[in-house]
Structure 1
Amino acid sequence: MASRRSEGDLAVAQPAAAGETASGAGEVSPRPRPLDRILGFLSAWKPAIGAVAGLVVLVLVWLAINHLIGEVDYDDVIDALHATPITAIAAALGFTALSFLSLSIYDWSALQHLGRRVSYPMVALTSFCAYAVGNTAGFGPLTGGAIRFRFYGRLGFEPADVARIVAFITVAFGLGLAGVTALGLVFDPADVAAPVGLPPAVLTVIGAAILTGLAALLAWSTFGSGRIGWRGISFALPTPRIMLMQFGGTLIDVVTSAAVLWVLLPQTDVGFPAFIAIYAVAIGLGVASHVPAGLGVFEAVIVAVIGRTAPVDQVLSALFLYRIIYYGVPLIAASGLVTSLELRRVAAGTQASRVLKAGAHLSPRVLSALTLAMGAALIFSGVTPAADERLDMLSNILPLPILEGAHFIESVLGLGLIAISRGLAHRLDGAWWAAIVSVGVAVVLSLLKAIAITESIALALLFLALLATRREFSRPASLFHQRLTPGWFFAIATVIVSAVVVLLFVYSDVDYSRQLWWQFEFSEEAPRSLRALLGVVIAAGSLAAWSLLRPSKGKTGTPTDEEIADAVHILADQPYPDANLVRMRDKTLLFSEDRRAFIMFGRQSHSWVALFDPIGPRDAWPGLVWQFVEMAQAAGGRAVFYQVQPQNLALYADAGLRAFKLGEAAQVDLASFDLKGAKRAGLRHGNNRAIREGLSFELMPPEAVAEEVDALQAVSNLWLAEHKAREKRFSIGAFDRGYVAAQSAAVVRREGRIVAFATVMTTALKQEGTVDLMRFAPDAPASTMEFLFINLMLALKAEGYRTFDLGMAPLSGLTGGPTAPFWHRIGSAVFEHGERFYNFNGLRAFKAKFQPEWQPRYLAVSGGASPVLVLTDVTVLISGGLKGVVGK
């Protein structure tokens, strides 16, 4: 028999042991090698390094664009913008609708490949919102992948399934984009050859090679094994029907999205097939750059190629309209859609359909992306001049200080909206109030600064959408408690760098002098824009300094007596008894701001590992999870939640964590548990045999345990000596006299002497019972622990408990098939072939005797951390150091 708890699931470097594996608490890891320190530093600062690298790319791209448009006048761009035919704008809107309609094919074909069925309206809704947000934000917390996880996760999809959907879409889009580019190179190589400087024949060969490779994949899927692989890792290709459907969707998507820009561009010598290839390359480079929405990267490619054969001012005008139509309009439409669905859901009440409920789940991220976009729009508006006729009208109505103040304040409010958008994505009620006030004020200021009707209408629509979705922003957490992560700093920096470039371009004919800062006139737009940009930069610097330098509310170290008392009081009213491990005092406690809930965690290397889900009322969990994640990030670490339950995965996804299946927990329904019938014959015979061997069972209350603690410690010492084992910690209790005496214990006696015991963990709700320490004397009969479990479950059933938790079977339930995710294949292989290190199969077989219901348990990890590296840290944490990992 092996441990009920999950310390064994990570101790893959230890021999199997009967009973619980042991460890030496308090051991420390050996000093890491220099290479380990370097790798640890790079891992801890990977997001920041990526953001800095992206910012460098962005600056270089904008410098290149400035060089390309050096001779272009801003007024010419505005004139070209106003001269755009209304028919071209209407056609661009129509092509945008077709493009977004075709995008649903990505999700639909991914679901077909996985063999999962979801109604098309729900797939189309999710796809539309995911792409509307992903196209605009294009980074971290607001990506389409997060939206898909929140939607599909609520339909019962496991994290691995959602990851496969996102991976399928990503790969399919990449292959489709390559195929469309290849078609353009084959059918119109001459138009592409001139700007790239390669002979048409070479481009034709490249295009033909790409198409040949794609055709080979299709043929292999049709006539071959349908699998591709490398070094023992293989993947199942989609069926030919799915591959053709996916490529057809990509072809429609790329062609129609390219047509959006094509109809807006001036006449050019580049044919449409060649333009599709150029467009595909620009999109691919924008995605690869990781710059939000590919801002600047996409424009640089288009200006560099199309600007050779068409007026650059008209190309810039077309690019501006393209961003508005293809990025802005769908985002506004998605916001209106989820808002209307939310209003209909409120009207429908409990009878709301799944589509209406899905809209509610998607609305925070959609409105967050719209708030982010409007914040950027306000900043860009602040560095561009208003129409002269509007300023003349305002000069007859308003005093100059009001106009100057409105211009400056609204620009700074734009930065505030970008910061607030992060809180909206996290469903903070404080962010909602801040957004309502900021957007409401911005509506008025947009009219006062330049009678910006379009801008004020867009802000008013955002204001109404926020009002309609108020109930979705229910997390009672402070907006100012959230730290900005590198991804959000990168987004803010992208907007500011772009605003600087726009300012320099718009006022390229204005010579800089210090007197500009002090010029206040209705007609002096350059000084006004310069002051607005300075205000944004100062505000951004202040925000960065406050976020980086403010002290963390988190802490590490052993808890105080007061904290332990508060935690024990909280767990008494909760259903899950595992939280009693807090009594061991070996984990740091993090309480929610209202001290109604807590997280117990430990640190190992760069991993901050929280044990189980938060403990306390469910409504206090979201804020507490974010508090823990940001505390870990502030210390340069990664947040980890160990052994979390599937119904809570959406909570961790909202916080930017990825979930990996650890194994399955065995839950016994005590209401139906007895020793009658053929199915329980083995348990019944084993129980009778134990009784004949002179064993007796007793469930002792805490006060009786305190009286027998010496006898229990004697059994524990014998067990440790017999197995040459050491005490473990973190996810299991050690034999601490105070810890053991504070709880009930199930004991087995033989001739009056205690020969085995298990500490019993329960809560006042009497919903679930479980055990922690399990130890027995060397001379105890082989059936002793089975006898203990049987009688303990019967005793708890008699006291009114509903379920009994036998603990987790590590790595159980992971699929090892070729189509399974990489983590599943690793875990399944260890489960099947790791008996030399740990009794995986034996542990599951023992628990299966009691005919439990198997429930999955997960590891939730922040950022892009590898689950293998994280589990290594958790193993060391549980084992009390590396010595505990390699030994018993």
Structure 2
Amino acid sequence: MKFSKQRIMTIAKIILPIVLIGFIFYQGQNELRSLSLKESIQAIRQVPSWQFILLILSGLLAVSTMFFYDFFLLRSLEAKAPVGLIFRASWIANSFNGIIGFGGLAGMAIRSALYRPFVEGGRLLKAIGWMAPTLISGLSILSTLSLLHIFPAFEVLEMKKWLWPVIIGVALFFPLYLLFSFRRGNSSIHPKSIALYSVVSLAEWFSAGVVVYLILAALGTDVSFAKVIGVFIIAATAGLISMVPGGFGSFDLVFLIGMQRAGVEEGIVLTGLLIYRLVYYLIPFLIGVVFSAREFSGPVVKMIEDKPIVGPSVEVGGVIWRLQLRFLSKIRHFTLALITLVAGITIWGLAILPPVSTQYEYLESKLPHEALLLANSFFLMGGLLFVLLSTALYRRTKRSLYMMYGASFFALVGMALRGFNLISFLAVVVVLALLLMSRNAFHRERTLITTSRFIRVAFVGLLYIGGFIFFGYAFYALGSADGTEVYPSHEIFMFAASSSIFALVYGLVFIRLFNSFNQPVLGERFDAEKIETVLREQGGNYLSHLAFLGDKRFFFSETGRSFIQFSQTGNRIMMLGDPSGDPKEHSQVIASFLRRVEDLGYIPNIYQIQAQNMSLYHDFGFNFFKLGEEAIVD
């Protein structure tokens, strides 16, 4: 079996990051064994809310430095885009790249879509391509400073010698890139642009290191600023070669090893890394989703929806642009579903441990203990519904939107009665705010509940609750051993059972009521006179006469001059042949019919089309297969 060069590169891009991450974790397995749950929990609880807010602001300020990438990019192209749009587009592109990545496709797609009105697409893509390598030039400069012992971290390099070629290679990147660029000449990228991008890159990486230092300082460590920045540089280079968005895993482990050598307790380092991921990646990503809800709800989304994904390249603007349109048409809903899923998992983690706050102590003195346990069950129920409904949110169904409103209500009630916590408050309120902002995008009435979907949802629910019981018991065992305050084992089981029952009852009652008050109808019943009028005035096709069997329903165009005949079988809609009536309306009536079918949660199929219309159905995304032959016999 022969492999093409492109196929080998594709396989390598998948396997290499996995191998690198596995190697890094193998190197740090001793450090992983020494992690202390008790220290991590205690460190998180000791951070005051006001200090946590300041850390969030420092993370947002560090992310905002990347705005100047886009500012200098458009200035080099002499494009006059509003500064506000540049800031929002830059924030969306960079925050999405940090979480989603896709090899930089996320940032390229967003910039191409939002800057396209101000600069020609080919020039823009070329400029972005030349800007991309400079994004790590700042880390290259910092790596050089680390090798010069300005930001010392040699003890980490001596302990993990395989990191030496990594940091030396990253340090050499910037001078080699300069040499390559100058040999190509000024037609490729101007030296001034390289200098400006490099300054921004240096500010970006350095400010991220400052955020890490501030987090560790807030957790009570006394490690010097130079030492923290030095370890951060080594960890960032390890994260860079792993090719995982944000260096997840590889960065964290190398930073953990380095700070342990600097005398910081493992639990505090782990807590600092969790806070860093929150304030530098997750919260900016949430803000990016809010910005994207604004930017991609107007002309950009209309352009995406109006143009078929598959079609002549001259209409869409080339293969790359078609891929970008497809990416952007899905990313808004994907990120909302992802955030909801993460919020549900966050609630899961918070519900395992008793809250520690003066509000909880006050509630405990005023309310029965059983009421507080019921509140935690409601809180966990909200998290369970968040996880189960995340896929339905991606499908944009109204039923899932309204169910999420109820889930958010139960989560907020549970949170109010179990004691206020900033993380749980953000987890629920951010999801609720995004749902309210995106409510107009939920045009589908529902998705049909099939046996396979029910089994998948049940499996996810059991996994969620089973994991809660398992880790709850594990925390109980650890807490009993080291004195950490945890829920007793019988209460853990009670939370799991009651929240599951609450979620099941809520789902069944809600779906029953929703279906009772919302019974949408697709198409019309057989009307012989109306159909005969269309066929007589506009003409039909070789299957139009089958309409008079009276066993099908009919979808008419807005003008009433054409129609589609179809029937429903389970969760599928079977269209019989091409539309009948005015040929000029065929594309329009198919588009309207498919939109309505999608809104009702059905899967469209077409039986027996004419060969000359294959390109039309191809543009609507249909796949083809040959079922048989047809003959005319005398």
Q: Identify the match of residue 303 of structure 1 among 232, 256, 259.
A: 256
Q: Identify the match of residue 508 of structure 1 among 478, 481, 500.
A: 478
Q: Which amino acid aligns with 1:320?
A: L
Query: SS of the residue aligned with 2:353?
Result: coil
Give % identity: 14
Within-5 A mapping of 1:809-824: none
How many pairs are equivalent?
531
Aligned partner of 1:70 in structure 2 is: 34
Within-5 A mapping of 1:85-164: 89=52, 92-108=55-71, 118-133=81-96, 135=98, 138=100, 144=106, 148=110, 151-152=113-114, 155=117
Q: Which amino acid aligns with 1:182?
A: S
Q: 1:89 Cα shift? A: 4.9
Query: SS of the residue aligned with 1:271?
Result: helix
Matched, 1:253 2:204: yes
CA gap of 1:614–1:537, structure 2 versus 1, over 3 A, is farther
Gap runs ≥5 in structure 2: 300-327, 504-541, 579-585, 629-634
Rounded Cα–Cα distance in structure 2 between residues aligned with 1:220 and 1:407: 60
CA gap of 1:208–1:594, structure 2 versus 1, over 3 A, is closer
Q: 1:439 Cα shift? A: 0.9
Q: Which amino acid aligns with 2:83?
A: Y
Rounded Cα–Cα distance in structure 2 between residues aligned with 1:155 and 1:433: 36
Q: 1:257 Cα shift? A: 1.6
TM-score (norm 1): 0.46
Within-5 A mapping of 1:745-760: none
CA gap of 1:372–1:446, structure 2 versus 1, over 3 A, is same
CA gap of 1:105–1:497, structure 2 versus 1, over 3 A, is farther
Q: Which amino acid aligns with 2:274?
A: F
CA gap of 1:94–1:395, structure 2 versus 1, over 3 A, is closer
Aligned partner of 2:140 in structure 1 is: 179
What RMSD, in angstroms, separates the aligned Cα atoms of the two structures?
6.4
Contact 1:378 1:411 in 2 (8 A): yes
Q: Which amino acid aligns with 2:267?
A: D
Aligned partner of 2:309 in structure 1 is: none
Q: Identify the match of residue 382 of structure 1 among 345, 351, 355.
A: 351
CA gap of 1:295–1:125, structure 2 versus 1, over 3 A, is same
Matched, 1:623 2:598: yes
Rounded Cα–Cα distance in structure 1 between residues aligned with 2:156 and 2:561: 66
Q: Identify the match of residue 611 of structure 2 among 732, 751, 765.
A: 732
Aligned partner of 1:478 in structure 2 is: 447
Deviation string, structure 1 residues 425-451 (Cα, Å, up to 9, x no partner): 443323321221111111011223445
CA gap of 1:306–1:130, structure 2 versus 1, over 3 A, is same
Matched, 1:325 2:288: no
**Higher relative contact order, structure no. (Cα contacts within 8 Å, ≥ 6 residues apart):** 1
CA gap of 1:150–1:385, structure 2 versus 1, over 3 A, is farther
Within-5 A mapping of 1:125-274: 125-133=88-96, 135=98, 138=100, 144=106, 148=110, 151-152=113-114, 155=117, 171-173=133-135, 175-176=136-137, 179-180=140-141, 182-188=143-149, 191-197=152-158, 207=167, 210-225=170-185, 237-265=188-216, 266-268=221-223, 271-274=227-230
Q: Identify the match of residue 432 of structure 1 among 401, 411, 434.
A: 401
Aligned partner of 1:348 in structure 2 is: none
Q: Which amino acid aligns with 1:268?
A: V
Rounded Cα–Cα distance in structure 2 between residues aligned with 1:88 and 1:132: 23
CA gap of 1:564–1:187, structure 2 versus 1, over 3 A, is farther
Rounded Cα–Cα distance in structure 1 between residues aligned with 2:112 and 2:223: 44
Aligned partner of 2:509 in structure 1 is: none
CA gap of 1:344–1:112, structure 2 versus 1, over 3 A, is closer
Q: 1:381 Cα shift? A: 0.6
Query: SS of the residue aligned with 1:474?
Result: coil
Contact 1:96 1:257 in 2 (8 A): yes
Deviation string, structure 1 residues 775-794 (Cα, Å, up to 9, x no partner): xxxxxxxxxxxxxxxxxxxx
Q: Which amino acid aligns with 1:218?
A: L
Contact 2:140 2:172 in 1 (8 A): no
Rounded Cα–Cα distance in structure 1 between residues aligned with 2:472 and 2:28: 13
Contact 2:155 2:261 in 1 (8 A): no
Q: Which amino acid aligns with 2:114?
A: Y
Rounded Cα–Cα distance in structure 2 between residues aligned with 1:127 and 1:272: 28
CA gap of 1:393–1:287, structure 2 versus 1, over 3 A, is farther
Rounded Cα–Cα distance in structure 2 between residues aligned with 1:63 and 1:612: 60
Rounded Cα–Cα distance in structure 1 between residues aligned with 2:113 and 2:618: 19
Q: Which amino acid aligns with 2:279?
A: I
Aligned partner of 1:777 in structure 2 is: none
CA gap of 1:457–1:300, structure 2 versus 1, over 3 A, is closer
Within-5 A mapping of 1:344-359: none
Q: Which amino acid aligns with 2:595?
A: A
CA gap of 1:223–1:171, structure 2 versus 1, over 3 A, is closer
Q: 1:267 Cα shift? A: 2.5
CA gap of 1:333–1:199, structure 2 versus 1, over 3 A, is closer
Q: Which amino acid aligns with 1:510?
A: S
Between Structure 1 and Structure 2, the one with more strand by share is: 1
Rounded Cα–Cα distance in structure 1 between residues aligned with 2:144 and 2:112: 36
CA gap of 1:113–1:415, structure 2 versus 1, over 3 A, is farther
Deviation string, structure 1 residues 251-273 (Cα, Å, up to 9, x no partner): 22221122111111122366254
Q: Identify the match of residue 278 of structure 1 among 191, 213, 234.
A: 234
Q: Which amino acid aligns with 1:70?
A: S
Q: 1:303 Cα shift? A: 1.6
Rounded Cα–Cα distance in structure 2 between residues aligned with 1:415 and 1:314: 29
Q: 1:213 Cα shift? A: 4.1
Aligned partner of 1:714 in structure 2 is: none
Greater C-alpha Rg? 1
Gap runs ≥5 in structure 1: 1-34, 227-235, 346-358, 513-521, 541-559, 601-610, 632-728, 734-760, 762-771, 773-806, 809-856, 863-872, 881-888
Rounded Cα–Cα distance in structure 2 between residues aligned with 1:112 and 1:262: 33
Contact 2:137 2:173 in 1 (8 A): no
Contact 2:384 2:464 in 1 (8 A): no
Contact 2:289 2:335 in 1 (8 A): yes
CA gap of 1:628–1:274, structure 2 versus 1, over 3 A, is farther
Deviation string, structure 1 residues 44-90 (Cα, Å, up to 9, x no partner): xx9xx989x9799799969967953636352x434434555889756
Contact 1:65 1:300 in 2 (8 A): no
Deviation string, structure 1 residues 759-800 (Cα, Å, up to 9, x no partner): xx9xxxxxxxxxx9xxxxxxxxxxxxxxxxxxxxxxxxxxxx
CA gap of 1:206–1:336, structure 2 versus 1, over 3 A, is closer
Query: SS of the residue aligned with 1:316?
Result: helix
TM-score (norm 2): 0.61
Q: Which amino acid aligns with 1:305?
A: G
Rounded Cα–Cα distance in structure 1 between residues aligned with 2:386 and 2:602: 22
CA gap of 1:252–1:530, structure 2 versus 1, over 3 A, is farther
Within-5 A mapping of 1:773-852: none
Aligned partner of 2:379 in structure 1 is: 410
Deviation string, structure 1 residues 211-241 (Cα, Å, up to 9, x no partner): 4443233233234357xxxxxxxxx954333
CA gap of 1:387–1:91, structure 2 versus 1, over 3 A, is closer
Rounded Cα–Cα distance in structure 1 between residues aligned with 2:14 and 2:284: 29
Contact 1:574 1:615 in 2 (8 A): no
